[in-house]
Amino acid sequence: MELNNQIQKKSENIDVKQYGMVIALIVIFLLFLIATGGKNASPTNINNLIMQNGYVVILAVGMLLCVLTGNVDLGVGSIVALCGACAAILVVDMHMPVFLAFAVALLVGTGCGAFVGFFIAKMHIPPFVVTLASMLMGRGLTYTMLKAQTKGPTPDLYNLIGVGFLPTINIPFGHIGPNRVPGHLDLVSMGIALIASVLVILGEIKDYKTKKKYNFAVNPIWQIVVKEIIILFIMWFLLYKLARNNGIPNVLVLMVILVGIYHFVTSHTVAGRQIYALGGNEKAARLSGINTRKVFFWVYLNMGLLSAVAGIVLSARNGSATPKAGDGFELDAIASCYIGGAAAAGGVGTIIGAVVGAFVMGILNNGMSLIGWSTDLQKIVKGAVLLGAVVFDLISKQKKN
C-alpha cells in the first residue's frame, strides 16, 4: 500500500509538470500569434507545424525511454540518415517495392539499436560512449552509401507517408486569407475530432473511477474539468485548422498511433514499470529481480527502430535522402524530453510530456522563423528554454526535500 501511495505521489508530481508545460505551450503559441499577426495560426502553417515536427515527436517517444534510464542516445540523428538512405537507394536504384524497402530500413534501424544495446547491456560500456560511436559510424556509413550525394527523387507512393493525407469529404465553408478566397471544411477531420473527444472523456472517467476504487488520491473535480476543457480545446483547434487545409496528414496518424502504444507500454505494462525502476535506482531494481541488462538492451533496440521510422518519414517528406539528413535531431529529441518534464537523473517522465516538449520546440522554431529571427538567435533561445526546464526540475526537487 505504501508503495502504491509513493507511485501515486510521483504521478501527481509528473502531472503538475505536464500541466505547466501545456500552459507554457499555449502561452508561447499566443505570444507568436501576436508577433506574427496570426500567421502561425493559419491552416497552412498548422499543417506545416505538424508535418515538420513529426519525426521529432517519433524520436522523442523513443528517447524518453533512454532518458528514463538516466541516459541518452546521441546516435539517433545518424541512424535516421542511414535508414532513410537505405530505403531511398533500394527504391530509386534497385527498384525494390516501396513497402519491402521500408521493411529493410526498419531492420537496419533495429540492427543498429541491437548493436548499441549489446555494448551497453552485455559489455557494460557507458551509453554516452557507445551512442557517440554510433553517431560517428552511422554518419560515415551514410556518406559512404550515398557517395556524398542526394538520392532521389523518390516515387509518390514512397512520399505518401511524409506528405500524404487521409481521404477527405470537403464542403464549402467560409473564406481563407485576406483575399477572401472561398474555403472548405473536411468532414472526416471533424468526425475524428468528435470521436476522439468522446474517447478522451470516457478515458478520464474510467481513470477517475479506477483511482477511487483502489483508494488512490484523485484531483478535485474542477481541476479534472479544466484539464479536459484545455485538452479538448487544443484538439479541436488543431483538427479544425487541418480541416480547413487538406485534412489530416498521414504522419499525424502515425504519431498518434506510436504515442498511444508507448503511453500504454510505459503506463500499464511490467516492461514500462521496469524502465522507471531502473532509472530510479539501478542497484535496487537489480536486487528486486529486474533483469537490468535486458531492459537496457530492448530500450536501445527500440530507439533504433523508431530512428528508422523517423528516417523513412523524413526522406518521404523531402522526397529524397541526403547525407546531412537528421543532423542535430538527437539534440531536439533530448531537449523535448527534458522540456516535457523528464528528470535528468532518470526515473521521471512521460510520453505525453515528451510530445508536449517536442511541440514547444516546434512552435519556437516555427514562430521565430515566421518573424524573421536568424538561426543563431533561434539556437540561443532554444538553449535557454532547455536550460530553464532543467533548472525548474532541480529547484522543484530541492523544495520537496
Please report the pLDDT score of residue 345 as a whole number: 83
Is the pLDDT reported for residue 228 higher than 50? yes
Scan for cell 538553449, then name that residue: 383
The model's pTM is: 0.90
Please report the pLDDT score of residue 102 as a whole number: 97
Read off the pLDDT of residues 102-157 as tens digits, 9 standing for 90 and up.
Answer: 999 999 999 999 999 999 999 999 999 999 999 999 999 999 999 989 998 999 99
183 compared with 63, residue with greater pLDDT: 63
Closest CA relative to residue 340, chosen from 8, 25, 48, 12: 25
Mean pLDDT, residues 290-312: 95
As a whole number of angstroms, the distance between CA 209 and CA 206 comes to: 5
Average pLDDT along the chain? 89
Q: Which helix (H) or strand (E) holds 347?
A: none
Please report the pLDDT score of residue 16 as a whole number: 53
Please report the pLDDT score of residue 81 as a whole number: 96
Q: pLDDT band at 183, cuts 50/70/90?
A: confident
As a whole number of angstroms, the distance between CA 357 and CA 311 comes to: 20
Q: pLDDT band at 96, cuts 50/70/90?
A: very high
Please report the pLDDT score of residue 390 as a whole number: 75
Contact between residue 274 and residue 69 where contact means Cβ atoms under 8 Å apart: no
343 compared with 80, residue with greater pLDDT: 80
Read off the pLDDT of residues 262-281 as tens digits, 9 standing for 90 and up.
Answer: 999 998 899 999 999 998 88
Cell numbers linked to 17:
509538470
Contact between residue 78 and residue 309 where contact means Cβ atoms under 8 Å apart: no
Is the pLDDT reported for residue 10 higher than 60? no
Mean pLDDT, residues 222-245: 91
Is the pLDDT reported for residue 388 higher than 90? no
Mean pLDDT, residues 370-391: 85
Q: Helix 98-121 crosses helix 76-92 at what angle (to 10 degrees)?
A: 150
Write phi, then psi, for 168 (nearest 5 degrees): -120, 155
Is the pLDDT reported for residue 179 higher than 90? no
Read off the pLDDT of residues 195-207 as tens digits, 9 standing for 90 and up.
Answer: 999 999 998 898 8
